[in-house]
Amino acid sequence: MTPAIFKAYDIRGIYPDELDEATVYAIAQAYAKLFKPKRVVLGRDVRMSGPALWEAAARGLTDHGVDVADIGVITTDMMYFATAHYKVDGGLTISASHNPRQYNGLKMMRKGALPISGDSGIEEIKRLVLTGYKYVEKESGKIEKLDIRADYLKKCLSFVNVAKIKPLTVVVNGMFGPVVQNVRALDLPIMIVPLNDTPDGSFPKGPPDPLLEENRHETVALVRSSNADLGAAWDGDADRFFLFDETGRFVPGYYITAFLGAYFAAQHKGTKIIHDPRLVWATEASVKAAGGVPLENRVGHSFIKERMRKEDAAFAGEMSGHFYFRDYYYADNGLIPFLILLELISESGKKVSELFASYFERYHISGEVNFALSPTSDVPNLLAFLERTYGDGKIDKIDGLSIEYPDWRVNVRPSNTEPLLRINVEAKSQAILEKEFMRFKDRITAHLLS
């Protein structure tokens, strides 16, 4: 076990070198000690190491006297639902989200789907694990199965009027997770063209992350060959949603955040909408135009959820494909944005490309570019160098470093889940984007190699 598995808002590491059954047992024990639950839900994604780690977590909890509701192989947003909907005191799922197959980890919640982050429990759990905490109650907790799918789907459907959804043809790429089964179970008036719909924890085609361009080619090709109205894809644990228009063009999560942000803002004047600092101009403009109040917040599901509760925000979105809803316990969900978009596309009578055309025309973006970091990379020194170099721009340090000029803007930040430095640039024109992006990229490369 390595302490580096304890991230800013969850726990992830390579199995079994960095995280194994003994580690997960200890984490479950620490969770029980810290939050004192009587009954929790416990699920997992489809990864090959999932069953063994699930068993370890279950033992850690039941040894501590905690009852476990086994919710089976789930999407992460199903765990959020179960934690809030049923009479339980918390929830855990064994998952490493979109990370490559060799990874696994845990996401943990408190009662009511309250998030656990580095600021609200993960550091305490880390301390207990590292000090060897262990406790065995005289009477062990019990394990019982709990089928949550019907209740979960009913909750998701409450966000839309199914009668308004037209018989669209939709490519549905499950990335080998269980989400296609959920979409089929919704019994929507759509024609589903399935892709990678059989759950497979070996992820035979690589990391289950549609944000990676190389993972989009199949979806693009199938949208075109099937003459679909749109394409939809999810990551490995299906808490992130991705959209493709009828031409197969990928619609960035940034544009979806702006589009849905305006949709929710228009429902009540003064509605607060939260977005991350990586790309901001489109969301700010759309939400303000719809009468809402855009609020910038640090990246990460725990931090977004905490801010949503504080502000009572109706909606939040991240360019990574996470979308959060006040009426879904202030949590993220990958199925709800899909359903809302089906309804809005149907009602508008427009093609997906037409609905998002203004965003592509006005807001030019680089796409997220990642730089691999070595154990000796000095990120604080790099950020300080960039701040000095671009000292005449508007500086923001909500998350990493954001630098803004009238016609272009950049955010650079270290990933909270992987040894990567992430860069996002937006500009008022494609020419400005290309010029400033290359200049910024070259400066980072030179500094990392120096």
Q: Say which residue the tokens 């065995």 belong to.
A: 136
Q: Kindly report the backbone phi and psi dihedral angles of residue 94, in degrees, each rounded to the nearest multiple of 5, phi listed first.
A: -85, 110
How many C-beta neighbours within 10 Å does residue 372 have? 10
Q: Is the dihedral of CA 321, 324, 329, 331 positive or negative?
A: positive
| Element spanning 309, H or E | helix 301-311
3-state secondary structure of 294: strand
Which residues on neighbouring strands pair with residue 105, listed in sequence order? 12
**Which strands make up the sheet holding 191-195, listed edge to edge?**
191-195, 169-173, 230-234, 241-244, 250-251
Structure tokens at 185: 């179970």
Rg (CA), the chain: 22
Query: Angle 281-289/253-265 helices, nearest 10 degrees?
Result: 20
Which residues on neighbouring strands pair with residue 6, listed in sequence order? 11
Q: Kindly report the backbone phi and psi dihedral angles of residue 10, in degrees, each rounded to the nearest multiple of 5, phi listed first.
A: -165, -170
Q: Does residue 117 carry a catalytic annotation?
A: no
Secondary structure E strands in 291-337: 293-296, 315-317, 323-325, 331-332
3-state secondary structure of 200: coil
Residues near 168 by beta carbon (within 8 Å), at least 6 away in sequence: 190, 191, 229, 230, 342, 345, 346
Residues near 312 by beta carbon (within 8 Å), at least 6 away in sequence: 272, 326
Q: Which of 97, 117, 320, 346 is catalytic?
A: 97
- Rounded Cα gap, residues 223 and 242, in angstroms: 13
Residues with catalytic annotation? 97
